[in-house]
Chain A
Amino acid sequence: MQDLLLYCTNGLLLGVIYALSALGVSLIVGIMNVINFSHGELYVLAGYFSALFARALGLPVLAGAGLAVAVVFLFGLLVERTLIRNTYGNDMASLIITFVLSIVLQNAYLLIFGPYPQKPPNWVDGSTRLFGLFYYGNQRLAALGAGAVVIAVLFLVVKKTWFGKTVRAVAQDREMAAMVGVNPDGVNMLSFALGCALAAAAGVILAPIFPVTPTVSVGVSLTAFIVVVLGGMGSLGGCVIGGLILGLVQNLGSAYVSSGYKHFFGFFILLLVLTVRPTGLFGRKQL
């Protein structure tokens, strides 16, 4: 019982972060119909930056994290402008470009940051007794909280603000939105960068717990894709549910079946969903 609750708590934590990271992919798919294969690399980049800002520049750790997200956001703007913009309408081209970019970034990280894991300092220390059953790291609880807050803010932005309305309009009907005066290029650039920033947010939140290396990015990207497919391409609500499901399944699966097969369960879900219900659990394109 105690174990089960622990696994569920872990699953919940990972689920929230999976959801957060997948929201980045989903946003970009929904609006631009582009799958960002370098998603995981941006997560890792933010992890490195937050470690760098905190340790080398001596910034407070949260400020470092915020700065890291901002830097990745800018990087996203740059990537969209230089590489993605020319490929609109050609799904295959953007797929190939972002895949190549992911390999380039992985190898660049290896060169710059080395192969060894790096982590920013913990935000908080100590642990708390949960349900009167087990002690749980405060850093993990903080990560859970931070992830939930970022997701909530994102939903507010998409549902309530002018930017959100514009984005939803473009996702639904690009030509129509252009006719009523929305600049689709600007929206694309902004949403691509926002998608990258969400990957970065997931990165800075998880990096103190799971240190980053140049190659963890692959797992991060794949996990995000699984969640996006599970929840339905472009559906933000679906992402959250999908993330939670995947987090729980992975943790329970690796605890009770086999830890070597931890990621296998995710892929299995992906294949299953794609075969049985390719629109995902909640349909597609409902921003």
Chain B
Amino acid sequence: MSPFVSCAPLMWLTVPMRGRKPGLLPIERSILETGIELRRDGAPEFHGFLAASRMRDTGEARMLTSRGTLYKALDRLERQGFLASRWEDPDVALLDGRPRRRLYHVTPAGELALSSPRVPSAAGARRLQSGGASS
């Protein structure tokens, strides 16, 4: 048996992932719209389940969005700069007797992505967030 083994099976790990074509998936669009609606209703931040239940209640989704789909979409939106998140103060959660929440809010880049038919790239979104686009 040859001691020289091809590393080809491992190469898929090193190849950078091909980015999906820019554009929002329906679930991502729904999340951003829900976040903006919630802010309009006086809740500037939302957690994952709140977004899912709101989408169900408003009829945007027939049932509660599955957990994997929901949190993958939130992760992707955050990486693109369309959402920002922070962890809730543990003391607040402790007072309410529940686990602490991860709270999201829609960024200006997210609003722009929703209103614009052409979605900016992740780098463009970051520039927008840092104010680089205005200069």
Chains A and B form a bound pair: no
Which residues of B are interface residues toward A (Cβ below 8 A)?
none
Which residues of A are interface residues toward B (Cβ below 8 A)?
none
